[in-house]
Each structure stands twice: as C-alpha cells, then as structure tokens.
C-alpha cells in the first residue's frame, strides 16, 4: 500500500511515520510537509534512510504541486495531519488556519476525488480533534454523535474541514475515516503547547504560565497510543465512520503542571519547582472541559492505551532533558517573538 502522510514532520506525524515505516516494510510511506515553524525534518532523521520512506516539501493548499506529487506516487491511503494546530496562535492569526486547515483539506479532497474515481479500496483519513465538540461543564463526555460546537478559530477550521470530508463522502462517495482525539503529549512536541512549554521552563527555571486558575480540564493521551489507534483504524475502521480516540484521562491543568514539577524534581534532583507556577490572564474564550468516551468499535478492535500518565510524563521529561540540540534548534527568533507576544505582558503583570 502507498500511504501518504501530510504533516509528517510535525509532532504526531513524526511518531506516526516512524511507526508505519518500521512496522510495515511492504508499504511505501510518503510524507508531504511544508516545514512551517512546527515542522522539523530532524524529527524524521532516524527513518531518513529507510527504503520504504520518501519526503517531499510542499504546501498542501498548492494544488499544482500536490497533483504533480500524486501523479508520481498515486496514493492508496491519505493520512491527513497537516494543520495549523495551536489554539493560541489561531487567536492571534486566524487566517493561517483557514489556509491550511480548510483550503488545504479541500485541495486534497478535490485531488483525491479525481484520482480515485471508481476506487473503493482507498481511504482519506482525516486526523481531527475533540475541540470540534466545544466545551463541557463538570459533567458528561464527548461521544460519537455529540453535535459539533467549535468555539476557537482553530476548532472552527478543523470542524469545517471535517464537514468537508463527510460532504465528499456523502456527495461523491469518497471513502473516508475521521478520528477526533484529545490532547496528545510526548517527545518532539513543539514547546508552545502546555506540557513541553512547562518542561522547558522547568529546565530553564523560568515562570510556568497557567491561564486563569488552572481549573480547565483536558483529556490527555500519550502520542504513541494515538498513533496505534490511527493505525488500527486505517487497517480495520469502518469507512464513512467518525471515531473518538481517548485514554479516559481528563485532568485539570493545575494538576498536570504540578505533577510535572514533582516528577521533574524527582528525576533531576531540582528543588521547589512548584514555586515556578505563575497564574496569568486567561486565554480568550478558553474552553472549560474536554473528556472523551472512546468509540466502542475502536475498543472492539482491541485498541487500548498502553502508557500510563505518570510513565508518559516521565518519558517526555527525560526526552527533553536528553535532547538539548533539538530544543536549541526550535527555540529560534520566531519562537522568542511568539513567546514575547503570548506571555510578555502576561508575565510582567
């Protein structure tokens, strides 16, 4: 099978690509990625020489470039991960999110429709987020069938893309799958997201910014568990179906960051990391709580999360401690500029 992975040089993408390249030598894994600030070829360096792996740099919204690539290696499956993925950046600059998440997705759908006429043995797999379902109160879960209610520019753009995927399935018969997952964490995550940002600030003994009172809840999953679920669904998921992926691990932000501080002190022998926690002005429109009931059919297929939260956090902390070069390469001028825009006045009070 020839599997295209869009956004393969990003956080989840690089774990997925490594998993596919190593476990399916008979498949050809082809990555297309624009290498934005969030994409990093170094993330894929340990598969770079694999005979069943190829990389192309391109913007998925560039129909001419994508058509030329797909004529050269026609896909049997498209795992679509390329996206602008950070909620805070979507609040600063929504347009970029429409370009990649909406126009980029439609560009791929149009090309797939033309390329896959009369083929039913193919699949367009849209990797999406639980944020499309909006915000929960203290009770309840997102389940299959929960109505979409996106509330940030990021989640609105992902919801639009999901709806287009379903519309192509319904209108043109395009075989598709969608999965909506909660908050991923693990090695190689860009340090704009809560967990890697906290770890880097712990390493650099800088204040750890927590929005509001830290009472918002996110449902966390180790990235490799998400990757195993995607693989399972690619091979055995029902076409035309939307799956929820979650490890049933909802936690308050303050509890996540406090646990990270404790584990960091245990691992490194540092002291009093909890004192770095700093409450700052809240994210505008901050969704209160996410919690996922994983799809029954995914569980019937035998998928279960394998990495406990403490073990995942430990592995993640150790990975950042062991990879100072990776950190130095991503903490560029662009990152410092973003950090100042996002946190400068918040932290100065």
Question: Which DSSP helix (H) or strand (E) runs through 349?
Answer: none
- Interacting residues with ligand DAU between 74 and 103 (CB under 6 A): 85-87
- Which listed residue (33, 59, 88, 131) is catalytic? 131
Selected from 181, 197, 227, 263, the binder of ligand NAD by CB under 6 A is 181
Of 81 and 123, CB closest to ligand DAU: 81
Q: CA-CA distance, 228 to 252, in Å (whole number)?
A: 25
Q: CA-CA distance, 284 to 261, in Å (whole number)?
A: 26
Selected from 83, 217, 256, 280, the binder of ligand NAD by CB under 6 A is 83
- Which listed residue (53, 125, 154, 290) is catalytic? 154
- Known catalytic residue at 154: yes
Q: CA-CA distance, 97 to 157, in Å (whole number)?
A: 6
Binding mask 297-326 for ligand NAD (x = CB under 6 A): ------------------------------
Supply the minimum distance, in Å, between the C-beta of residue 73 and ligand DAU: 28
Rule CB under 6 A: say whether 12 interacts with ligand NAD: yes
- Known catalytic residue at 338: no
Largest alpha-carbon pair distance within the chain? 63
Rule CB under 6 A: say whether 237 interacts with ligand NAD: no
Q: CA-CA distance, 22 to 25, in Å (whole number)?
A: 6
Selected from 33, 130, 162, 225, the binder of ligand DAU by CB under 6 A is 130
Rule CB under 6 A: say whether 218 interacts with ligand DAU: yes
How far apart, in Å, are the Cα atoms of 206 and each of 171, 202, 268, 277, 337?
Answer: 52, 6, 16, 9, 16
Supply the minimum distance, in Å, between the C-beta of residue 214 and ligand DAU: 6
User: In a 3-state reduction of DSSP, which class is residue 167?
Assistant: helix
- CA-nearest of 116, 171, 150, 120 to 290 is 150
Supply the minimum distance, in Å, between the C-beta of residue 50 and ligand NAD: 19
- Known catalytic residue at 49: no
Rule CB under 6 A: say whether 183 interacts with ligand DAU: yes
Contact 161, 242 (CB under 8 A): no
- Which listed residue (84, 130, 219, 287) is catalytic? 130
Q: CA-CA distance, 35 to 82, in Å (whole number)?
A: 10
User: In a 3-state reduction of DSSP, which class is residue 245?
Assistant: strand
Rule CB under 6 A: say whether 159 interacts with ligand DAU: no
Selected from 1, 35, 50, 203, the binder of ligand NAD by CB under 6 A is 35
Contact 120, 195 (CB under 8 A): no
Q: CA-CA distance, 64 to 321, in Å (whole number)?
A: 42
Bridge partners of 181, per DSSP, are 129, 245
Residue nearest to ligand DAU (CB): 129
> Which residues does 349 contact at the CB level (< 8 Å), separation at least 6?
none
Catalytic residues: 130-131, 154
Site of interaction with ligand DAU (CB under 6 A): 85-87, 129-131, 182-183, 193-194, 197, 209-211, 216, 218, 253, 283, 290
Which spans of this chain sit near ligand NAD (rule: CB under 6 A)?
6-7, 9-13, 33-36, 38-39, 59-61, 81-85, 100, 104, 127-129, 158, 181, 183-184, 190
């Amino acid at each position: 099978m020839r599997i295209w992975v869009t956004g393969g040089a990003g956080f989840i993408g690089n774990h997925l690509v490594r998993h596919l390249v190593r476990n399916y030598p008979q498949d050809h894994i082809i990555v297309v990625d624009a290498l934005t600030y969030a994409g990093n070829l170094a993330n894929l360096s340990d598969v770079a020489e694999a005979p069943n792996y190829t990389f192309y740099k391109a913007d998925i919204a560039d129909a001419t470039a994508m058509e030329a690539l797909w004529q050269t290696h026609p896909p049997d499956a498209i795992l679509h991960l390329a996206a602008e993925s950070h909620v805070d950046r979507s609040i600063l600059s929504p347009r970029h999110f429409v370009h990649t998440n909406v126009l980029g997705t439609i560009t791929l759908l149009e090309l797939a429709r033309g390329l896959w006429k009369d083929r039913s043995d193919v699949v367009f797999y849209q990797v999406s987020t639980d944020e499309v379902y909006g915000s929960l109160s203290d009770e309840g879960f997102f389940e299959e069938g929960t109505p979409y209610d996106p509330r940030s520019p990021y989640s609105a753009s992902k919801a639009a893309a999901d709806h287009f995927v379903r519309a192509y399935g319904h209108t043109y018969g395009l075989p598709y799958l969608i999965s909506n997952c909660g908050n991923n964490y693990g090695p190689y995550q860009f340090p704009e997201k809560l967990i890697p940002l906290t770890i880097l600030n712990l390493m650099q003994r800088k204040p750890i910014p927590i929005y509001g009172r830290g009472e918002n809840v996110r449902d966390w999953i180790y990235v490799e568990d998400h990757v195993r679920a995607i693989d399972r669904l690619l091979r055995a998921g029902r076409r035309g179906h939307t799956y929820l992926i979650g490890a049933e691990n909802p936690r308050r932000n303050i509890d996540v960051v406090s646990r990270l501080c404790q584990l960091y002190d245990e691992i490194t022998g540092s002291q009093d990391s909890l004192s770095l926690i700093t409450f700052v002005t809240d994210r505008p429109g901050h969704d209160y709580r996410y919690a996922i009931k994983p799809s029954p059919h995914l569980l019937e297929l035998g998928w279960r999360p394998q990495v406990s939260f403490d073990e995942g956090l430990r592995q993640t902390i150790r990975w950042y401690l062991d990879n100072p070069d990776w950190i130095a390469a991503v903490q560029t001028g662009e990152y410092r500029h973003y950090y100042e825009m996002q946190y400068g006045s918040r932290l100065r009070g």
